[in-house]
Amino acid sequence: MAAADNLPSLRAVHLLKTFGDGASQRTALRKVSLNLFPGQLALLMGPSGSGKSTLLAILSGLLHPDGGQVLTRPNDQTSFVDIWGISEAARDDFRRKHTGFIFQGYNLFPALSASQQLEIVLKWGNNLSPGEARRQAEEMLDRLGLLNQRHKKPAAMSGGEKQRVAIGRALVKNPTFLFADEPTSALDWENGQAVIQLLRDAAHSRGATIFVVSHDARMLPFVDVCFHLDDGNLEEHEIPLVVAGE
């Protein structure tokens, strides 16, 4: 689902990334280029070690490429911003205002409850009052089947509960760009499907640009475009499957 003006919201242009030196040097990305659009749920697949997480980190402004550009157009602005051509402070501000992240390792705050994990994002990132932040946090936790666990801290949560809290934290701020690393890896299919539907809704109903790295082939019927990365080279694949009712 591309935007009406058919301009991408994010463009990667000839991204290059290597690790190591000399004989041990490994090329993770070989001049990778892609376009992502508003309202699009994109999936990146490929074997372990193929560079998937590296590409996600570069696109999201967390890892500096050795070459190339990441051009973003938040909120349908007419001009692109090169996130690797601005200052670190400006890049941090861009991420705070426009991006959400779902990390494979959850990255939850140990001292905060499930609700507080979401509330802090809404108060800090969206400048909401404590009462409104709590209301929206609990509404999102309810959609994820976690309202009764809202007072739990991470040490008392299962892996699946932690994953869903991390997903809720990313979605609750309604980001322009959302980057997810294996968001269904710790979930059974019932909860995984509910999460994928939330991601689809964020893209299709709210116009977010969502980029997911996953090995989970069950996601394929739900996404709009699928990329495959292998040995640093990227290919785009057709999605032949259509979700019933769409």
Supply the CATH number for residue 162's domain.
3.40.50.300
Q: Label the pairing between strands 99-102 and 177-181.
A: parallel
What pLDDT, in 10s, does the model give residues 103-144?
Answer: 888 889 999 999 999 999 999 878 899 999 999 999 999 989
Q: Per the domain annotation, does 5 fall within a domain?
A: no
Q: Per the domain annotation, does 14 fall within a domain?
A: yes
Q: What mean pLDDT is predicted for residues 48-61? A: 93
Q: Per the domain annotation, does 243 fall within a domain?
A: no
Q: Per the domain annotation, does 153 fall within a domain?
A: yes
Tokens standing for 174? 């309604």
E strands, 67-221, in order: 67-72, 81-82, 99-102, 177-181, 209-213
pLDDT band at 162 (very low <50, low <70, confident <90, very high): very high
Which domain range does residue 109 map to?
A: 10-237
Mean pLDDT of the chain: 89
Q: Per the domain annotation, does 227 fall within a domain?
A: yes
Whether the pLDDT of residue 208 is over 70: the answer is yes
Q: Considering its fold, how many domains does the chain have in total?
A: 1
Half-sphere exposure for 140 (CA within 13 Å, toward CB): 29
pLDDT band at 241 (very low <50, low <70, confident <90, very high): very low
Q: Per the domain annotation, does 245 fall within a domain?
A: no
Q: Per the domain annotation, does 98 fall within a domain?
A: yes
Residue with tokens 């292998």: 230
Confidence (pLDDT) at 24: 85
Taking the C-alpha atoms of residue 146 and residue 189, their distance in angstroms, rounded to an integer, is 16
Residues in the chain: 246
Taking the C-alpha atoms of residue 45 and residue 13, their distance in angstroms, rounded to an integer, is 19
Q: Per the domain annotation, does 242 fall within a domain?
A: no
Residue-wise DSSP of 158-201: -HHHHHHHHHHHHHTT--SEEEEESTTTTS-HHHHHHHHHHHHH
For CA atoms 221, 223, 224, 228, the dihedral sign is negative
Confidence (pLDDT) at 127: 84
Residue among 78, 81, 68 nearest 28 (CA): 68
Confidence (pLDDT) at 27: 92
Cα distances (angstroms) measured from residue 79 to each of 67, 71, 97, 143, 238: 21, 9, 17, 35, 29
| The overall pTM is greater than 0.85 | yes
What pLDDT, in 10s, does the model give residues 63-108?
Answer: 999 999 999 998 767 789 999 999 999 999 999 889 999 988 888 9
